[in-house]
Amino acid sequence: MVKKERVLQQQKEKTKKSLEMVVMFFGFFVMFISVLYQKEVGTAMNVVLGPFADSVGNFLITILILSVITGIYTSVVQKYTTNWELMEKSKQYQKQIRELQKELMEAKREDNKHRMKKLEKKKAEIMMKQTQFSGEMMKQQMKPMAYIMIITIPIFMWIWLYVEAASVGTVIFPLIGEKAFTAGFILGLPYWVLWYMVCSIPIAQMIRKAIGIRSAM
């Protein structure tokens, strides 16, 4: 009976991993297609988002609403697709290495070679353990990104297309005044990207705190 349950559990885990791989592949495929066919993806998204933007009337508010939607989606995806136990374990290893580094510096100042040798051996063991699951850590970072790109990249492509097609001219931004929506501010990025970032970052932080998501740092 126990063996049968173990086999079923293994099958579930295998199915879950297979589905995760499919979703990750689809996410990166969406990103690739969106970048390669920006106009086509933007046009397809316009079927839904175009009437929505027209009904809102103010494109700054439209981007604000979209940033709330993507913020909720992103935070929920991160909460339920990240292995927080693994992330916590990585943080503990990093903390141990920092503490050992401090102890090593003290041992060097004291010229305590015996202590230095002991600490270096302990540090090497911890770093080896951390390296063993570095691949899984990378996967944990990539997995939420794949889910997030399925929604966020097409939305970005639509905003880009809509701004150009609707000939959105100058907009009065809070604090910085009147600016052309498509004008570049840093590295050629248009001001609507700046507005999206200003909206999305604090909103995402509030949502993360509201749903009890832990920091990955």
What would the pLDDT profile of 92-122 be if each residue is shown by its tens digit?
Answer: 777 877 888 888 888 888 778 777 788 787 8
CA distance 87 to 93: 10
Which residue blocks in 111-173 are alpha helix, DSSP H? 113-132, 134-165
Q: What is the pTM for the complete model shown?
A: 0.66
**25/50: higher pLDDT:** 50
CA-only gyration radius of the chain, Å: 24
- Backbone phi, psi, residue 171, to 5°: -135, 140
Q: Output b/e per residue, 55-91; b: 16+ Cβ within 10 A.
A: eeeebbebbbebbbebbebbbbbbbebbeeeebeebe
* Coil/strand/helix, residue 37: coil
Q: 211 and 76 in contact (C-beta within 8 Å)? A: yes
**122-163 per-position pLDDT tens digit:** 877 777 776 766 666 676 667 777 778 788 888 888 888 887
CA distance 21 to 160: 30
- Backbone phi, psi, residue 184, to 5°: -85, 145
- Take residue 170 and report the two structure tokens written for it: 């100058």
Closest among 124, 145, 143 to 135, alpha carbons compared: 143
Q: What is the mean pLDDT of the chain?
A: 76
CA distance 27 to 143: 9
Q: Facing residues of 170 across strands? A: 180
Q: How sure is the predictor about 4, in pLDDT bands with cuts at 50, 70 and 90?
A: low
CA distance 141 to 124: 24
DSSP secondary structure string, 173-216? ETTTEEEETT-EEETTEEHHHHHHHHHHHHHHHHHHHHTTPPP-
CA distance 166 to 162: 6
pLDDT of residue 44: 86
| Residue bearing tokens 């693994």 | 86
pLDDT of residue 217: 45
